[in-house]
Structure 1
Amino acid sequence: MIKHIQLINDDYLGHVDILRHASRGVLVMDDKILIGYAENGGIIMIPGGGVEGDETYAECCVREMLEETGIKVNAVNEYLEIEELFDVWRHINHYFICELVEDTGVTHFTEAEIEAGYKPVWLPIKDALAIFAEYEKYRKTDIPVYGLYKRELIALQEALSLLQK
């Protein structure tokens, strides 16, 4: 069963002009999580991105994980859907627990990811949780990071509760 959560950011203007669906993959091994690190901004996130064409959410997750991390995965379980409302956006993130198939070592970054210094990193789960848990400190200074970290903290906590069963 997929859990649904709605987050409304402080900058939400009360109406939606843009809808975006994205899929994100949680891959955990040896008490570490595979995350995307944007070196130029010092930001971490669960790998994923926007749905393209008529692909399913699971297909999007598999494609995005391969493009951003070089790792082929199976999207095993869609466990969470987080709907974010911010500015004029309705952004729906579909989270999957993934299993590793193969590390190809080959990434395919977008221009924006290259400019951000994006790279995949295996981060201890406790460190990822600690970083995401600091979301409130960004509320007044960087609302996009505030929203991102709040969302990712919830997603990681939910994944860990399922993985520990």
Structure 2
Amino acid sequence: MQYKLWNGASAIIIRDNRVLMIRTIDSNSWSIPSGGVEDGETVEEACIREVAEETGYEVKIVKELHTKKTIIKEYKVTTKYFLCEITGGDIQYNDPDEEIEEITWMNRNEISKLIYTYPEDQEVIEQLLSS
């Protein structure tokens, strides 16, 4: 099978010991802001753009955390995770894909009880909240 490649970026944003989480329409699972890298942009630029599109916040990248490689259906997926810090903006529902249902800040207790779109993210988020 010939796989298609998909490159993406994910942002973990922590403020006041809470993490910014999003839930998509018709879903009861949560994720961090993320999306695909578009032609002509770096993975860092994609991360910053996706956060702005999905949440309304402007961010800067603090550091690269890790890279997740997986296969989803016919795609070889590579997602870089970044720890980001808010530099401006407010929560806004302006996602061009119109997929975002809810944007909220969650504490460690709430994070531990969530259903995750990508369950492997939970451990990373909880480690960052406890550090």
TM-score by length of 2: 0.85
Which residue number corresponds to residue 152 of structure 1?
A: 121
Give the counterpart of 2:105 among 100, 117, 122: 122
Alignment of 1:55-66 (within 5 A): 55-66=41-52
Does the 8 A contact of 1:23 with 1:49 survive in 2? yes
SS of residue paired to 1:78:
strand
Which residue number corresponds to residue 96 of structure 1?
A: 82
Does the 8 A contact of 2:108 with 2:129 survive in 1? no
SS of residue paired to 2:113:
helix
Residue identity over aligned pairs, in percent, reads 24
Does the 8 A contact of 1:97 with 1:159 survive in 2? no
CA distance in 2, matches of 1:18, 1:129: 33
Shift of 1:125: 2.6
Is 1:44 the counterpart of 2:27 in the alignment?
Answer: no
SS of residue paired to 2:61:
strand
Structure richer in helix, relative to its length: 1
Name the larger-Rg structure. Answer: 1
Shift of 1:112: 4.9
Which residue number corresponds to residue 139 of structure 1?
A: none
After TM superposition, the runs of 4+ consecutive aligned structure 1 residues lying more than 6 A away are none
CA distance in 2, matches of 1:78, 1:100: 15
Listed as ranges, the gaps of 5+ residues in structure 1 are 1-14, 136-144
TM-score by length of 1: 0.69
Measured on the aligned residues, the alpha-carbon RMSD in Å equals 2.1
Does the 8 A contact of 2:18 with 2:106 survive in 1? yes
